[in-house]
Structure 1
Amino acid sequence: MQPKPSNMISFSKFLTFSFLSISLILSSCGGRSGRCYAYSGSTGWSYGGGSSSGNSSYYVNPHTPTKRVVPYSHLGEADVMSNLEYSGSDSIDVSQQQIYYPLTAGKKSAPEVASQYERYESYAENEWVKTLDEIQSTFGIDVDNGSYTNFRRFINRNQLPPKDAIRIEEWLNFFNYELEAPEVADEHPLKITTEISPCPWNPEDELVMIKLKGKEVPKTDLPSSNLVFLIDVSGSMGGKNKLDLVKKSIYELTDNLRSNDRISIVTYASNSKVILDPTSGDQKDKIKKAVDDLVAGGSTSGSDGIQTAYKLAEQYKIDGGNNRIIVASDGDWNVGITNKDKLVDFISEKKKSGIFLSVLGFGMGNLNDAMMEQLADNGNGNYGYIDQEKEAKRLFDSEFAGTMFTIAKDVKLQLTFDESQVDQYRLIGYENRVLENWQFSDDSIDAGDLGYGHNVIAFYQVKRKENTDGSLGKIDFRYKDVDSESSVLLSQKIDGKADKSSSDFKFASCVIEFGLCLRESEYRDKALMEKAIQRGKENLGPESDELGHEKRVEFVGLMERAYQMWTGYVIDNTIQDFEEEEEIQKTPIVEDTASVNQPPSFAVKMFPNPAQDFTNIQLSSQLQEEWSIQIFNLNGQLVQVEHYQNSPQERVDVSNLKPGTYIVKVYGGGYNFDYMKLVKQ
């Protein structure tokens, strides 16, 4: 069970604290829409979802969004909210906010937490597709890995990430694999191989592992670089994990620059400024002096900075070189071109000049992951998140060639499944890289880019037709040379069915299985975190690959810590809530008045319970537009998923469930409406 904060207070302080907190809630309700409640019971007073007692402290409960007002003292750092507006009052109205989950056990100072919000692009997972309906599946590669390092940041701070922050393809592509690379003399700069083995979380299915490897070259043979750093020095970038870490990252890069490389630095806050004109890589002291002078302050005009950086990069462009803008920011644009679509259009147009754009995210609390990933994707670059000095060293030293030098652009893959062999298939991850099938041959359509020595991994889960064992079909892939706008087409069979899965296959599949569990994916079948952790431990890779081995060992440790938090929060705490529920008496602190409106009711009812063959779930009318349920057993396994639209009440067939106790999660529109205990007789 997740450890609870050890904020012990005496009984007298508890009474004083309770009185002050109630006063804060009362004052915060004035002029706001929403009714404020306090609840008393065996766990102590609870305000807006947070509670405090002499033995433990709980914070915002995402399972009960009816509790609308949150005092400072109950906000944990992982109470991540979208577009949160802080007005300086003593509590925050979260009535219209998206609350991500789960929550941290830690507790931070109020002003710091109250101003924090992070933005992630929501997405629906790829669905199963029947070959009877469509035999082709098309997507562009993705070499980003910011989602993984962001996950690491959450776990290292004893927090679980929001679901939409988990992009499995970026987790997969963070790790090193022993893949077949093309020879230096090969005509093509990349090579694709495949491997097929049973699916660990559903052995009746097969997993197709697609392995793509870029050509490797010595560092000394890399093209000359024209790098323009665009650094956010606005007020939001203050702190050791933001601007200070940016500085250390550039120090790392500077130490690896050659005399034929050059670097420029543009800063932006209220306006943009060139603080380092193009400087040769052998003038390291000059570069580091410019970096040392960076200070944070002002609002954020990211668009002005981008325009200045492109002008500088174009003015000093190296023909045949690596011309790239590297943005270092939390992405918190608040003046200038703040619209993501307009920024994307601007960058998409600029990449035609041969200037690529990569984006590095820093910090926490207001990370704009959604905008930063989209900018990098449309700028022919990559998005990474730097959470520690070790990550800066990886990006700008050991894996610099792969992340910052492009050898093939607009790489697309199209699988054509043999309908005589395959019944259904599902692409795992790459949701924001899926293409229409006709876009595969259209060279005007953008896709992902590949760097020197880079590896890219993708998986399909496949259901074969009965009594078949032939080739699953073929895989076509296209790429463009860096200086070309016409693609090259290559093709090969989908084969590689092995008697024994490779160590790389086993480790990559453990990454997927754990990600599916952490997302509570409806496609997780019989996936278990424990199985993923064990498979990871057994496939750490050769110790001779020091960096690759270190990454895998680290991931196993992160999985174990995340598993403890996940089971403690989702299972143990939920069951404890059920056991205490009947003892809690609800007492309104503020009654309805002319100035205080009743908030929308999020009440959820389930009946009959216990149930035999069916139960009914009833929602209030405000929530009926689109909602879903997930049913878990007490081992945390997802056993049933249902989706509904435009219906306030649905009959749920539970006849296939074994007798026992289950947890029913009801959610929709970005909220978890409730977690309820269901007893199946």
Structure 2
Amino acid sequence: MRPIPPQTPPADTERYPDATPNPVKRTADQPVSTFSIDVDTAAYANVRRFIDQGQRPPKDAVRVEELLNYFDYGYAQPTSQARPFAVTTAIAASPWSPQGGQAGRQIVHIGLQGYELPAGEQRPLNLTFLVDVSGSMGSADKLDLAKQAMNLAIDRLRPQDTLAVTYYAEGAGTTLQPTPGTQKLKMRCAVASLRAAGGTAGATGMTNAYDQAQASFARDKVNRILMFTDGDFNVGVTDNKRLEDYVADKRATGIYLSVYGFGRGNYQDARMQAIAQAGNGTAAYVDDLNEARRLFGPMFDRGAFPIADDVKIQVEFNPARVAEWRLIGYETRLLNEEDFANDRIDAGEVGSGASVTALYEITPVGGPTQVPERRYPDNRIGVGGGDPNGEIGFIQVRYKQPGESRSELIQQPLTNRASAPVSAQPPEATRWAIAVAAFGQKLRDDPWMASDYGWDQILEQAQGARGEDPYGERAEFVQMIRAARDLPPRATP
């Protein structure tokens, strides 16, 4: 028997959105930070996949906000859907600053907790599965895993819910018309019949899925398409902008779209992020069955039942207290200051019980600034106006109730008196968020971390903030830090 020659691995065609780390900004020049919230967690599972394979993830695959938002921080809960968010804040010394403590840089931790809908307030679901069954999906970590995820979602359906199952390859089709949640066996048979072969007419499949969603559409339902794909649309319309426009137009009719990514080698993260954002949906990556169980088990309600649309956060820093600031992560979600009050500007959706975490690194006035001093005195950083012992900043959250066109506003001062020392032992939630942010920045080789703040310091930070860990997610993260520490350096092009 002739020996089988070694196989050449397929070319890596994975694509990620450009995400240059946010710069440090001088408060006197740019006091306002505005961004769309992001509850996606795709980057966390994808980073885990790379590390499990013994590889450093591409820098742009590491979206720090999606690592942060993977975890539950136990934020205070809002009490009513009429005001669906509660805001939690904390301030701590920046552990990677050359000078920690009061004289050094600090971390501002902002947590936004969404209202958790009781079962009686959850609207009926009108779901449509849109399944990529092209040849590129024909492996155990793609279509086979997607089928397991779909069956987990079917387990969650109630009698008042409906499900349709559609697919696309060279063309598009429907294996299940909208069917009530009482007929789970029929749903499972439709999923089991899916086979991978042929090209990838993603746009054709999308129009067919929207037709099925429209067939069972009602204003008092949650009308949502769940797309299962590796994102590789290689037949038909492939221009991101045109697909985004189509999905955005359908979003305006009340049908939202979420994307679940699978596989490796040709994973098209950039395309999937663009489509999910246009569809007012979430983007997640499923690297194994445990992640499928998480997304379609305890986390299912967060992706299925919206509590607010077009959620934006704006933070205005007080130049009397803050010389410089930078937002850690959210590079692909930044908005202009004037976009905040413009209800025509799209932003992120938040589901039942979901939370959003954001970290800023700030330099107090008199601290070790990173932007070089200017030549002319009138252009230099001054103390500025306002009460130096009062607010560090002002937080605003703007959101729309689901289906509404006019936004509502939540406002809250960010306070910490200048004479009060920064806590050496901030809340556990803040310490854990700092560890996760440090991990993400280290993987990306962000330029703002001190060179002597390494993996061992990140590991120590995480170990000291694990707290209660009922699902073992924090323990798994600690193991990821250890594994990342031992990875070979990233190859230079």
Using the size of structure 1 for normalisation, the TM-score is: 0.66
Residue 110 of structure 1: CA displacement? 2.6
2:88 pairs with 1:193: yes
AA at the equivalent of 1:506: R
Residue in structure 1 matched with residue 467 of structure 2 by the alignment: 541
Residue 404 of structure 1: CA displacement? 2.1
Residue in structure 2 matched with residue 462 of structure 1 by the alignment: 362
Q: Does the 8 Å contact 2:40/2:283 carry over to 1?
A: yes
SS, match of residue 114 in structure 1: coil
Q: Does the 8 Å contact 1:196/1:495 carry over to 2?
A: no
Task: String of CA shifts for 1:368-416, please: whole Å, max 9, x gaps.
Answer: 0000011001110010000111111111110111122211011111111
Task: String of CA shifts for 1:95-152, please: whole Å, max 9, x gaps.
Answer: xxxxxxxxxxxxxx634x2244211122211101101211111111001110000011
Residue 469 of structure 1: CA displacement? 5.2
Residue in structure 1 matched with residue 414 of structure 2 by the alignment: 494
Residue in structure 1 matched with residue 400 of structure 2 by the alignment: 480
Cα distance in 1, alignment partners of residues 321 and 32 from structure 2: 14
Which of 105, 119, 137 is 1:205 aligned to? 105
Residue in structure 2 matched with residue 599 of structure 1 by the alignment: none
Residue 470 of structure 1: CA displacement? 3.8
Which of 413, 430, 434 is 1:505 aligned to? 430
2:485 pairs with 1:563: yes
Residue in structure 2 matched with residue 166 of structure 1 by the alignment: 62
What pairs with 1:166-565 in structure 2 (closer than 5 Å)? 166-184=62-80, 187-202=82-97, 203=100, 204-219=104-119, 221-466=121-366, 470-495=390-415, 499=423, 500-526=425-451, 527-543=453-469, 546-547=470-471, 550-565=472-487
Cα distance in 2, alignment partners of residues 404 and 209 from structure 1: 27
Cα distance in 2, alignment partners of residues 143 and 495 from structure 1: 26
Q: Does the 8 Å contact 1:194/1:496 carry over to 2?
A: no
Cα distance in 1, alignment partners of residues 416 and 460 from structure 2: 25
AA at the equivalent of 2:109: M
AA at the equivalent of 1:192: V
Q: Does the 8 Å contact 1:126/1:429 carry over to 2?
A: yes
Q: Does the 8 Å contact 1:208/1:459 carry over to 2?
A: yes
Q: Percent identity?
A: 38
Q: List, as ranges, runs of 4+ consecutive aligned residues in structure 1 with deviation greater than 6 Å.
A: none
Residue 157 of structure 1: CA displacement? 1.6
Residue in structure 2 matched with residue 110 of structure 1 by the alignment: 7
Residue 295 of structure 1: CA displacement? 0.5
SS, match of residue 282 in structure 1: coil
Q: Does the 8 Å contact 2:391/2:416 carry over to 1?
A: no
Residue 222 of structure 1: CA displacement? 1.8
Residue 509 of structure 1: CA displacement? 0.3
Cα distance in 1, alignment partners of residues 10 and 74 from structure 2: 45
SS, match of residue 435 in structure 1: coil
Cα distance in 1, alignment partners of residues 156 and 119 from structure 2: 10
Cα distance in 2, alignment partners of residues 157 and 340 from structure 1: 29
Task: String of CA shifts for 1:631-681, please: whole Å, max 9, x gaps.
Answer: xxxxxxxxxxxxxxxxxxxxxxxxxxxxxxxxxxxxxxxxx45xxxxxxxx
AA at the equivalent of 1:147: A
Task: String of CA shifts for 1:205-231, please: whole Å, max 9, x gaps.
Answer: 111111000111334542110000000
Q: Does the 8 Å contact 2:390/2:416 carry over to 1?
A: no
SS, match of residue 250 in structure 1: helix
Residue 496 of structure 1: CA displacement? 6.0
SS, match of residue 320 in structure 2: coil
Residue in structure 2 matched with residue 676 of structure 1 by the alignment: none
Residue 539 of structure 1: CA displacement? 1.4
SS, match of residue 524 in structure 1: coil
Between 1:425-434 and 1:468-477, the stretch displaced more is 468-477
Cα distance in 2, alignment partners of residues 496 and 188 from structure 1: 25
Residue 466 of structure 1: CA displacement? 2.2
2:70 pairs with 1:145: no
- 1:436 and 1:276, CA in 2 relative to 1: closer, same or farther beyond 3 A? same
Cα distance in 1, alignment partners of residues 467 and 279 from structure 2: 34
Residue 161 of structure 1: CA displacement? 0.6
Cα distance in 2, alignment partners of residues 237 and 531 from structure 1: 40
Structure 1: unaligned runs, 5 residues or longer: 1-72, 74-108, 575-671, 674-681
What pairs with 1:74-85 in structure 2 (closer than 5 Å)? none
With a CA cutoff of 8 Å and minimum separation of 6, indicate the structure with the bigger relative contact order.
Answer: 2
Task: String of CA shifts for 1:605-639, please: whole Å, max 9, x gaps.
Answer: xxxxxxxxxxxxxxxxxxxxxxxxxxxxxxxxxxx
AA at the equivalent of 1:556: V
Structure 2: unaligned runs, 5 residues or longer: 368-387
SS, match of residue 450 in structure 1: strand
Q: Does the 8 Å contact 1:327/1:357 carry over to 2?
A: yes
Task: String of CA shifts for 1:276-314, please: whole Å, max 9, x gaps.
Answer: 001111211111111111100010010001111111112
- 1:480 and 1:243, CA in 2 relative to 1: closer, same or farther beyond 3 A? same
Cα distance in 1, alignment partners of residues 303 and 476 from structure 2: 21
Residue in structure 1 matched with residue 373 of structure 2 by the alignment: none
Q: Does the 8 Å contact 1:225/1:318 carry over to 2?
A: no
Q: Does the 8 Å contact 1:270/1:301 carry over to 2?
A: yes
Cα distance in 2, alignment partners of residues 295 and 116 from structure 1: 24
SS, match of residue 44 in structure 2: helix
Q: Does the 8 Å contact 1:182/1:215 carry over to 2?
A: yes
Q: Does the 8 Å contact 1:147/1:165 carry over to 2?
A: yes
AA at the equivalent of 2:466: L
AA at the equivalent of 1:334: N
Structure number with the higher strand fraction is 1
RMSD, matched Cα: 1.8
SS, match of residue 449 in structure 2: coil
Q: Does the 8 Å contact 1:145/1:385 carry over to 2?
A: yes
Residue 324 of structure 1: CA displacement? 0.3
Residue in structure 1 matched with residue 18 of structure 2 by the alignment: 122
Task: String of CA shifts for 1:221-252, please: whole Å, max 9, x gaps.
Answer: 42110000000000000011000001100111
AA at the equivalent of 2:87: I
Q: Does the 8 Å contact 1:128/1:425 carry over to 2?
A: yes
SS, match of residue 341 in structure 1: helix
Cα distance in 2, alignment partners of residues 110 and 116 from structure 1: 15
SS, match of residue 174 in structure 2: strand
